[in-house]
Amino acid sequence: MLAIDVKDLRKQFSVQKNREGLSGALKDLFKREYNEVTAVKDISFQIPQGEICGYIGENGAGKSTTIKMLTGILVPTSGELKVNGYVPFKDREKFVNGIGVVFGQRSQLWWDIGVIESFQLLRKVYRVSEADFRKRLNELVERLQLGELLNRPVRKLSLGQRMRCELVASLLHNPSILFLDEPTIGLDIVVKTEIRDFLMQMNREQGTTILLTTHDLQDIEALCSRVIMLDDGRIIYDGGLDDLKNRWSKGREIQFQFAGHTQLAKLRQLTESLDVTWSMENEVTAKMWLPHAVNVSDALACVVGGVEIRDIKIIETNTDDIVRSIYSSGSASTAKETV
């Protein structure tokens, strides 16, 4: 069954145009002009149950707007939308019982009261029975090590502690879909790892579908089997992360450390038959860049015969670089044509 089914989804906002200067402001007072801004432009995608899907894109690409439509906060301008079998904005109150939402930038908890009291309140809001609540809370508290935090007011928690509590709060009613909008923003690496492990485990054991937006591609690498990339309101890539890497990374680099002083010319001569380029780092280290068309073993074979090598390091282009180049080129499909 599909957890999320989106077809030709579109969201337009009319944004008031502010004319310049005092005279402009006066004109605005009497006659306003509006711009239609389309934040999400007819996107379609489907997410099956139990998948962890990353939703990435630059700031302002329309990620949050999509998430808000999927969670029933915003009403789409046009298009079809089905999440968990509901149309989110139509049966909002029934629908939200089956989803969990975490907005990294905004707290879901009550600021002044103890964490446990926020949870109790949410228990009532979501109509979770006391027994289920206890069981679930104990599991989550143990898993995320919240024990001693439960009685502190939220405003006295650190960001990492708060984010773990937010996660618990969004999971108390055992939702089958979890929406995470930048869940690791501003967290240190330890908490990030902990949250990733936790999400991974929950997905594995309970089959929770997770859709997360993030700017941290390590989140995506650690969690997601699938990535949807958004640019200017349109989907420019939808598929596996490995695919994305294979398709957009143009090659890899091998760094050699030689036993003695080695000339660039000699290296070039050794690999004459291959389409590779060399650059010297210092007298004993050199880097060879080879496109995907060239086999690593072939390249190594050529070098190994000619010079004595102390150390070899193969450097994959990392996801950050790939995504950066897609963002700056504007679209993944244009990038494809140039390859």
Does 218 engage in binding with another protein (CB under 8 A)? no
Minimum distance between the CB of residue 148 and another protein, rounded to whole angstroms?
20
Does 126 engage in binding with another protein (CB under 8 A)? yes
Does 9 engage in binding with another protein (CB under 8 A)? no
SS3 at position 132 = helix
Q: Which of residues 153-192 bind another protein (CB under 8 A)?
A: 181-182
Between β-strands 226-231 and 234-239, what pairing exists: parallel, antiparallel or unpaired? antiparallel
Among 57, 72, 183, 233, binds another protein (CB under 8 A): 72
Among 65, 66, 214, 249, binds another protein (CB under 8 A): 65
Does 66 engage in binding with another protein (CB under 8 A)? no
Rama region for 26: left / alpha / beta (φ>0; ψ in -120 to 50; rest) = alpha
Among 38, 49, 77, 108, binds another protein (CB under 8 A): 108
**Dist. CA 193–CA 222, nearest whole Å:** 9
Which residues, 6 or more positions from 269, have their beta carbon under 8 angstroms from its beta carbon? none
Does 121 engage in binding with another protein (CB under 8 A)? yes
Minimum distance between the CB of residue 101 and another protein, rounded to whole angstroms?
4
Tokens of 44: 């379609």
Total of chain residues touching another protein, rule CB under 8 A = 36
Which is nearer to another protein, 64 or 262 (by Cβ)?
Answer: 64
Q: What one-character-per-residue DSSP string does 49-69 give?
A: TT-EEEEEESTTSSHHHHHHH
Does 307 engage in binding with another protein (CB under 8 A)? no
The tally of CA atoms less than 13 A away on the side-chain side of residue 248 is 26
Among 31, 124, 273, 297, binds another protein (CB under 8 A): 124
Return the range that interacts with another protein (CB under 8 A); candidates 68-76, 195-203, 217-225, 295-303: 68-76
Between β-strands 99-103 and 177-181, what pairing exists: parallel, antiparallel or unpaired? parallel
Q: For residue 104, give the nearest of 32, 28, 159, 56 by alpha carbon.
A: 159
Does 103 engage in binding with another protein (CB under 8 A)? yes
Does 150 engage in binding with another protein (CB under 8 A)? no
Minimum distance between the CB of residue 110 and another protein, rounded to whole angstroms?
7
Does 35 engage in binding with another protein (CB under 8 A)? no
Surface-to-core class of residue 229, CB atoms within 10 Å of its CB (0-12 exposed, 13-18 middle, 19+ buried):
buried
Does 37 engage in binding with another protein (CB under 8 A)? no
Are 221 and 322 a contacting pair, CB within 8 Å? no
Across 230-267, b (16+ Cβ under 10 Å) vs e yields bbbbbbbbbeebeebbebbbeebbbebebeeebeeeeb
Binding site for another protein (CB under 8 A): 13, 16, 59, 64-65, 68, 71-75, 89, 92-94, 96-97, 99, 101, 103, 105-106, 108, 110, 112-113, 117, 120-122, 124-127, 181-182
